[in-house]
């Protein structure tokens, strides 16, 4: 088949159980699913183009040449059942995993049925699967989650992937293949999400009667040998339908060189050769798992398809995180404890010493460090609890984390800490208001006055105390001239968090709190991920006014019109899972949207509120989200606010 650039209009793909002869790819819900994902994630199509470009470059550079280690992918099976028949047995699930392993290794019993004309390109993909032995929290698991549901049948709208809509939330897609098994309506056999889509919906969905194998079949004959899952996992691993999904008959392409061009999908069990698009004498490769034939007639992947699959696991590939997943490993009861007490000292322009507390039973430690802007870590083994780092860049923030290594197993990496190398020839300033590291020791400051100070040591927090008056009740606290990524919180006199500002990098922080009760307030300045420097100061200003501070006046709002006075609090932040968002609107908003994006720009959560006025609360459930930085975007007809949220377990 000639290569041609795929127009990336396909994100979810599916099979239909009934009426096959009349079905085209437009009948099976693909476009509806695509449009839904596009509405949720405006960068999705570009993500998929980037993955396709990477795949092309990977193959062109010989990334799949030579022998490769087998990639074993942990699978979590979410069984959603409305009747007892839908609650399929462990035996069927085990049979399905076995069939996947046979098919992807070309050890399937019917491999001998591949026509001789195609046998030379039939391939072992070097991908295998296991039922997860360890859950995202490090606990032992069977890899099977069973839940009752009131939903009688699901569709391609991804409701099966969300607890809130009768399904079950995904486990972290960077570490697991999520396989949802349920009753699908409309004759649907299954559908999958290609790489590049939202993490919260990443995975494969199959009809419960299609689960099984040739030896332990399901009941959806002739689709009962588990090949629905094989086909859909193929899509999840970036394989397109063999006839191509981007054109009319004979003009489509699956971007694979060793699959013959063919007019359209095949059904049933065709006779070899079945010729279309002048592809004789061998005709269509209808026995390929990415066609639509019966389970008993599918039996091969090709070398070219294998190359596309393997590109996902190359350096920078979109599913490379699965290579380091611990999901297939049984938790060890004698694993090391996670190191704590991370500290830094002897910091110069090019060097620093980092240290940590000893862990009982540890025989060595792994230290990872990188600049805060880098995406990859440098890892070094260390026999002691300290390490001198050299060759560092001046005036640069470095992150570091430590893992303990025991004879039986290794610990998780610690939460990252940070230090900042001294700026070359940089001016210094004073840590003027110490000791003010706690709210009760907060320094009293004058309002409407610039306060200049620093976070000069590891763990430094600066608390400042001020008051408003009856004549000037409205409060606006700003944090500017930031040398590093510093954040800002506002508390009342009893220590309750009123608001948080957590912009990324050295972007200025600001908190407006209008119509505040007269009393004492505390502003807290702290470094994200313990950022600090003894070579540069920040500027804090607590302003009070008789006039309400408007959100449209400042850089936080990207609207050209004033935003209604809004006060909000995002807590706890950092969080290990559930995050509370409290909002207050002085003016009624017809609609307020709260959307959460990861650092790739992918939307992972979305909430909508109609006629929002006064106190409005949202509970943002991030329990199944990967650790990292997220952005919470609050939008209303009057404007937009964006704040940083950190998930760290």
Domain with residue 304: its CATH number is: 3.40.390.10
Q: Would residue 285 count as lying in a domain? A: no
Which residue among 420, 453, 480 closes a domain? 420
Beta bridge partners of 190: 15, 206
Place 35 in a pLDDT band, splitting at 50, 70 and 90.
low
Q: Would residue 275 count as lying in a domain? A: no
166 lies in the same domain as 209: yes
The single residue of 32, 45, 52, 232 carrying the catalytic annotation is 232
**Percentage of the chain lying above the pLDDT 70 cut:** 85
Question: Can you give the pLDDT at residue 539?
Answer: 86
Question: Can you give the pLDDT at residue 381?
Answer: 86
Tell me: pLDDT of 566 over 60: no
Place 86 in a pLDDT band, splitting at 50, 70 and 90.
very high
The number of helices, as runs of H, and strands, as runs of E, in the chain is 6, 28
Q: Would residue 431 count as lying in a domain? A: yes
Cβ neighbors of 50 (< 8 A, separation 6 or more) are: 196
Element spanning 510, H or E: strand 509-513
Which residue among 518, 549, 580 closes a domain? 549
Among the listed ranges 273-277, 374-378, 481-485, which one has the minimum average pLDDT value? 374-378
575 lies in the same domain as 480: no
Average pLDDT, integer, range 472-498: 89
Q: Mark whether 232 is an active-site residue.
A: yes
Tell me: pLDDT of 3 over 60: no
Tell me: pLDDT of 30 over 90: no
What is the Cα gyration radius of the chain? Answer: 28
Place 290 in a pLDDT band, splitting at 50, 70 and 90.
very high
Average pLDDT, integer, range 589-600: 75
Beta bridge partners of 182: 207
Average pLDDT, integer, range 635-639: 73
Q: Would residue 164 count as lying in a domain? A: yes
- Residue 64: DSSP 8-state: T
412 lies in the same domain as 486: no
341-350, 560-569, 606-615: which is most confident: 341-350
Place 600 in a pLDDT band, splitting at 50, 70 and 90.
low
Q: Which residue has better confidence, 115 or 245?
A: 115
3-state secondary structure of 16: strand
Question: Can you give the pLDDT at residue 297?
Answer: 97
CB burial of residue 566 (10 Å; 0-12, 13-18, 19+) = buried
496 lies in the same domain as 594: no
In whole angstroms, what is the distance from residue 619 CA to residue 607 CA?
A: 9
106 lies in the same domain as 199: yes
Which tokens hold the place of 444?
């009293």
In whole angstroms, what is the distance from residue 70 CA to residue 72 CA?
A: 6
Question: Can you give the pLDDT at residue 420?
Answer: 80
Q: What is the CATH number of the domain that holds 396?
A: 2.60.40.10
Q: Would residue 568 count as lying in a domain? A: yes
403 lies in the same domain as 441: no
Alpha-carbon dihedral 220, 222, 224, 225, rounded to 10 degrees: 180
Query: What are the angstrom distances between the C-alpha of 109 and each of 120, 214, 291, 298?
Result: 17, 9, 19, 11
Question: Can you give the pLDDT at residue 557?
Answer: 34
Question: Can you give the pLDDT at residue 561?
Answer: 33
In whole angstroms, what is the distance from residue 457 CA to residue 339 CA?
A: 21
Q: Would residue 626 count as lying in a domain? A: yes
Cβ atoms of 258 and 2 within 8 Å: the answer is no
Average pLDDT, integer, range 284-306: 96
467 lies in the same domain as 438: yes
Question: Can you give the pLDDT at residue 352?
Answer: 87
Q: Which residue has better confidence, 628 or 381?
A: 381
In whole angstroms, what is the distance from residue 597 CA to residue 201 CA?
A: 14
Helices 30-40 and 44-60: angle between axes, nearest 10 degrees: 110
| Sheet with strand 352-355: strands edge to edge | 343-345, 352-355, 386-389
Full residue range of the structural domain in which residue 477 is found: 427-549
- Residue 338: DSSP 8-state: P
Which tokens hold the place of 198?
């939202």
∠ Cα 643 645 649 (to 5°)? 175
Q: Would residue 337 count as lying in a domain? A: no
**pLDDT 10s digits, 308-338:** 999 999 988 999 999 999 999 887 655 678 8
Q: What is the CATH number of the domain that holds 531?
A: 2.60.120.380
Question: Can you give the pLDDT at residue 38?
Answer: 61
Cβ atoms of 277 and 249 within 8 Å: the answer is yes
Question: Can you give the pLDDT at residue 270?
Answer: 96
568 lies in the same domain as 531: no
533: left (phi over 0), alpha (psi -120 to 50) or beta: beta
Q: What is the CATH number of the domain that holds 566?
A: 2.60.40.1930
Question: How many CB atoms lie under 10 A from the CB of residue 278?
Answer: 9
In whole angstroms, what is the distance from residue 81 CA to residue 153 CA?
A: 9
**pLDDT 10s digits, 46-82:** 888 899 999 999 988 887 666 678 999 999 999 999 9
ω into 281 cis (within 30 of 0)? yes
**pLDDT 10s digits, 202-220:** 999 999 999 999 999 999 9
69 lies in the same domain as 205: yes
Question: Can you give the pLDDT at residue 258?
Answer: 95
Element spanning 56, H or E: helix 44-60
Average pLDDT, integer, range 557-580: 60
In whole angstroms, what is the distance from residue 275 CA to residue 648 CA?
A: 56
Question: Can you give the pLDDT at residue 240?
Answer: 92
3-state secondary structure of 316: coil
Question: Can you give the pLDDT at residue 246?
Answer: 67
- Residue 228: DSSP 8-state: H
Query: What are the angstrom distances between the C-alpha of 607 and each of 170, 338, 623?
Result: 18, 36, 16
- φ, ψ for residue 606 (rounded to 5)? -150, 135
Cβ atoms of 350 and 391 within 8 Å: the answer is yes
42 lies in the same domain as 130: yes
Tell me: pLDDT of 168 over 70: yes
Look over the chain and give the mean of its residue pLDDT values, rounded to a whole number: 83
**pLDDT 10s digits, 391-446:** 888 778 888 999 888 876 778 888 888 888 776 543 446 677 788 889 998 988 88
Place of tokens 């006629």: 611
Cβ atoms of 529 and 399 within 8 Å: the answer is yes
306 lies in the same domain as 411: no
Question: Can you give the pLDDT at residue 426?
Answer: 39
Tell me: pLDDT of 125 over 90: yes
Average pLDDT, integer, range 245-268: 87
406 lies in the same domain as 432: no
Which residue among 489, 516, 549 closes a domain? 549
Place 254 in a pLDDT band, splitting at 50, 70 and 90.
very high
For the chain, how many residues are written? 649
Which tokens hold the place of 385?
């609890």
In whole angstroms, what is the distance from residue 241 CA to residue 13 CA?
A: 9
Average pLDDT, integer, range 472-476: 90
In whole angstroms, what is the distance from residue 304 CA to residue 106 CA?
A: 14
Q: Would residue 16 count as lying in a domain? A: yes
In the chain, how many domains are there?
Answer: 4
Place 611 in a pLDDT band, splitting at 50, 70 and 90.
low
């Amino acid at each position: 088949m000639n290569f041609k650039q795929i127009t990336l209009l396909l994100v979810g793909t599916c099979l239909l159980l009934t009426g096959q002869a009349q079905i085209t790819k437009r009948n099976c819900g693909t476009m509806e699913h695509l449009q839904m994902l596009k509405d949720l994630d405006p960068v999705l199509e570009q993500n998929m183009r980037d993955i396709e470009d990477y795949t092309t470059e990977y193959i062109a550079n010989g990334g799949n040449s030579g022998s490769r280690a087998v990639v074993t992918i942990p699978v979590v099976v979410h069984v959603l059942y409305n009747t007892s028949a839908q609650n399929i047995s462990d035996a069927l699930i085990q049979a399905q995993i076995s069939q996947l392993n046979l098919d992807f290794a070309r050890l399937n019993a019917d491999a001998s049925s591949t026509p001789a004309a195609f046998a030379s390109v039939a391939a072992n993909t070097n991908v295998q699967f296991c039922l997860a032995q360890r859950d995202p929290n490090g606990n032992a698991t069977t890899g099977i989650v069973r839940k009752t549901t009131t939903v009688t049948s699901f569709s391609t709208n991804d409701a099966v992937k969300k607890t809130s809509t009768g399904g079950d939330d995904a486990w972290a897609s960077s570490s697991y293949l999520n396989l949802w098994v349920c009753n699908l309506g409309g004759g649907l056999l299954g559908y999958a999400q290609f790489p590049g889509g939202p993490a919260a919906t990443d995975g494969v969905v199959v009809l419960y009667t299609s689960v099984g194998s040739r030896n332990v079949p399901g009941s959806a004959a002739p689709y009962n040998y588990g090949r629905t899952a094989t086909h859909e996992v193929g899509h999840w691993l970036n394989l397109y339908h063999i006839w191509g999904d981007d054109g009319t008959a004979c003009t489509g392409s699956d971007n694979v060189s060793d699959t013959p061009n063919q007019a359209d999908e095949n059904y049933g069990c065709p006779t070899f050769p079945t010729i279309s698009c002048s592809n004789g004498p061998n005709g269509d490769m209808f026995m390929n798992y990415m066609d639509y034939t019966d389970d008993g007639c599918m039996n091969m992947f090709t070398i070219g398809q294998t190359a596309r699959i393997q590109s996902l696991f190359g350096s920078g590939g979109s599913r490379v995180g699965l290579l380091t997943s611990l999901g297939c490993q049984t938790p060890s009861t004698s694993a090391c404890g996670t190191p704590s007490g991370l500290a830094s000292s002897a910091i110069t322009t090019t060097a620093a010493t980092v240290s940590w507390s000893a862990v009982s039973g540890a025989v060595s430690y792994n230290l990872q460090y990188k600049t805060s802007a880098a995406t990859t870590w440098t890892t070094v083994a260390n026999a002691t609890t300290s390490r001198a780092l050299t060759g560092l860049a001046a005036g640069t923030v470095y992150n570091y984390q430590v893992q303990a290594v025991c004879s039986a197993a290794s610990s998780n990496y610690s939460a990252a800490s940070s230090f900042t190398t001294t700026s070359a020839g940089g001016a210094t300033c004073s840590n003027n208001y110490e000791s003010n590291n706690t709210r009760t020791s907060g320094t009293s400051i004058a309002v409407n006055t610039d306060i200049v100070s620093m976070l000069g040591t590891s763990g430094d927090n600066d608390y400042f105390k001020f008051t408003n008056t009856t004549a000037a009740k409205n409060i606006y606290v700003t944090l500017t001239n930031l040398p590093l990524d510093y954040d800002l919180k506002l508390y009342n006199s009893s220590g309750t968090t009123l608001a948080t500002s957590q912009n990324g990098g050295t972007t200025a922080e600001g908190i407006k709190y209008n119509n505040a009760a007269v009393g004492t307030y505390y502003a807290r300045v702290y470094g994200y991920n313990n950022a600090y420097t003894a070579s540069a100061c920040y500027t804090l200003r607590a302003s009070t006014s008789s006039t309400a501070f408007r959100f449209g006046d400042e850089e936080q709002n990207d609207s050209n019109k004033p935003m209604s006075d809004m006060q909000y609090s995002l807590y706890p932040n950092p969080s290990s899972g559930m995050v509370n968002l409290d909002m207050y609107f002085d003016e009624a908003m017809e609609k307020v949207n709260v959307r959460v994006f990861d650092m790739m720009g992918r939307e992972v959560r979305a909430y909508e509120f109609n006629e929002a006025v006064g106190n409005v609360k949202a509970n943002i459930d991030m329990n199944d989200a990967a650790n990292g930085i997220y952005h919470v975007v609050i939008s209303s007809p009057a404007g937009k606010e964006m704040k940083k949220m950190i998930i760290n377990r």
